[in-house]
Structure formats: C-alpha cells, structure tokens
Amino acid sequence: MSESATIERAPARAGLNQLDQLKRMTRVVADTGDFATLKEYEPQDATTNPSLILKAAQMPEYKHLVERAVAEVKKMNLDRKAMVARVVDQLLILFGVEILKIIPGRVSTETDASLSFDVDGLMAKARQFISMYQQNGVGRERILIKIASTWEGTRAAEILQKEGINCNMTLLFSLPQAIACAEAGAKLISPFVGRILDWHKKSTGKDYAPAEDPGVQSVRTIYAYYKKFGYHTEVMGASFRNVGETLELAGCDLLTISPQLLAELKSSTAPVERKLSPQIAAECDLERITLDEKKFRWMLNEDAMATEKTAEGIRNFHADAMKLEKLFLERL
C-alpha cells in the first residue's frame, strides 16, 4: 500500500513523553486486568482476556474479587459444573466493573473460546454478560463483547450490533477477517500485530524492522481499507512485541498496549510521528473485495499464517479458561 501523503508530526511540547504524544492522535487502551497499571498510565479504555484474568486471579491483591465471585455463585441453585462456569463469568464481570471505576471509557470482556464456531452460543453469552453488567449498574454503552473473528463470530456480531451490543472482534490476522467484521457492522476489531510477527519470524528466520513488520503492514492495510471504503468499524492494533510496532501505527483509531510497553513509551520524550490517517488512507491503491461465506473461508484458508494463528489463539484462550475453571473447582 502506498503512503505518499505527508506524515504528520505530533505538535512538540517540552517534556511530553511518547505515551502522552501518542494519546493525542490515538485512543490508548491498556491490555491488562491490573488496576494499579490502569491508575498509573490513565488509558481511555481497557481490554481483558482469559489469560490476563487467570494471571490476575492468582494475585493476592485480587483475592477479594475471587472470593466474592465464589460466594455469589454459591447462593445459586446450580450443579457443580454450571457453578464453576458461572464463577468464571462472575469474575470476568467483577473485574470489568472495577476497571470501569478507574477508566473513563469502555472495557472489553471476552466470550468463551469454545463458542467461537457457535452463533447462538455467542449471542447467548454476550446477552448474559450485558445483563450481568446491568445488574451491577453498568450500561451496555461501556461494554465491548470480545468475539473471535471466525465466520460464525461475524454472524453473531451482526445480530448483536443490531441489538445495541457492541462487539470487539479479536484473534484477527487477515484482511478477509477484517472485511467480514466490518460488513457485519462490528464496533471494533483487534488485529494481532505481534502474533503475526511471531509467525513470520518463525517461518523465515528473519528479524524485521518496525516499518517492515508484517503485523504492522497488515494493520496499515486494514486501516486504509476501512477508511478508503467508508467503514465505521474502529481499528485497534493489539498484541505488540515492541514499542517500534506501536509507534509505526501512531494515528490508528486505537492501540491496546501492555504495561511493559506503556512504561517504555512513558519513559521516552522522543518525538512521535503520525503514520496513519484518513487522508493517507485515501491515497492507497486498494481494490474493494466482496465476501460471502465461501469466499471468506477460501481466502482465510489460503493464508497459512491467519489460519494457524486464529486456531492457535482459540485453543490457547480456551486452555487458560480451563485453568481458571480448575482454580475455582478447587475452591468450590
């Protein structure tokens, strides 16, 4: 894709660190379930997933949330299997509620990875999460329901969006996935930059400079496609491996960044240049792609990286969810 338009530089301010510069052109999201991190870096939004919640659930400072989730579910008339599953859901919601007390924007809460190919199951889980948030005094406008970017995930998102339930399409590694999500009217997508890089480094044995990073290039193309063809779905780069990747996507709608990389950005005052904008996207040489289910599945199949990383991501999130259930099974 061409980027012949002039790249903007963030207006300089004495002592302004890179994180604050980035916040002036991109909505910064914290990729963590840790409350202290959220308070320190003051992101607009926050994202969670089963891996992050599993990690947080084993930290002493969140023991009270775990105990509360267990206590609340014990009051319900459920069998043991249903009780364990409900405790996991309850903990996801409790973390989300606490996070929303810290940030001004939205929190993303992930649906079960095991539902990634189940349209009805995804819709039921999303509605359940929204209901649970509402019971805790949180409106749906502050919630993003995370759904894997499978064909079934996009079908569920299309229906949920019409109900006013905003979806964050995760585990996204390719343009056809992004197009299907946008055609479904999803509120937001999370293309995984670092995992794309991981695959290419393993496949080729090469290292990549940030500007040539395959994950960075993928997000640039998706962003340009959306802006050029008038899609309103937000693009949130995710899963970064280094600060260089985040800076190469400065100007993207949103970026969700780990605590380690937030710290690196905050510690530097080097200037940040805007690399993405609707104006730059308008000049890109891209053709519009028409998708149906058959073409989606074929294009995804032809992309070995996207096929493998989507499947791997679903498996890994499911494995961490099972670890979380095991943790609660022991407590119950």
Would you name the residues annotated as active-site residues? 146
Cα–Cα distances (Å) from 156 to 56, 181, 184, in that order, read 29, 10, 9
Q: Is 188 helix (H, G, I), strand (E, B) or coil?
A: strand
With H, G, I as helix, E, B as strand and everything else as coil, classify residue 28.
strand
**Residue 166 CB-half CA count within 13 A:** 16
**Alpha carbon distances (Å) from 54 to 51, 63, 240, 281, 318:** 5, 12, 20, 38, 11
Using CA atoms, how far apart are residues 308 and 146, in angstroms rounded to an integer? 20
Beta strands of the chain (E only): which ranges?
A: 27-31, 45-47, 107-110, 143-148, 167-172, 188-191, 234-237, 254-257
Token readout for 296 is: 């989606």
Answer yes or no: are the C-beta atoms of 109 and 146 closer than 8 Å.
Answer: yes
Residue in 28, 11, 17, 8 with CA at minimum distance from that of residue 252: 28
d(CA 325, CA 263): 32
Query: What amino acid is encoded at 179 in this protein?
Result: I
Contact 46, 103 (CB under 8 A): yes
d(CA 233, CA 96): 23
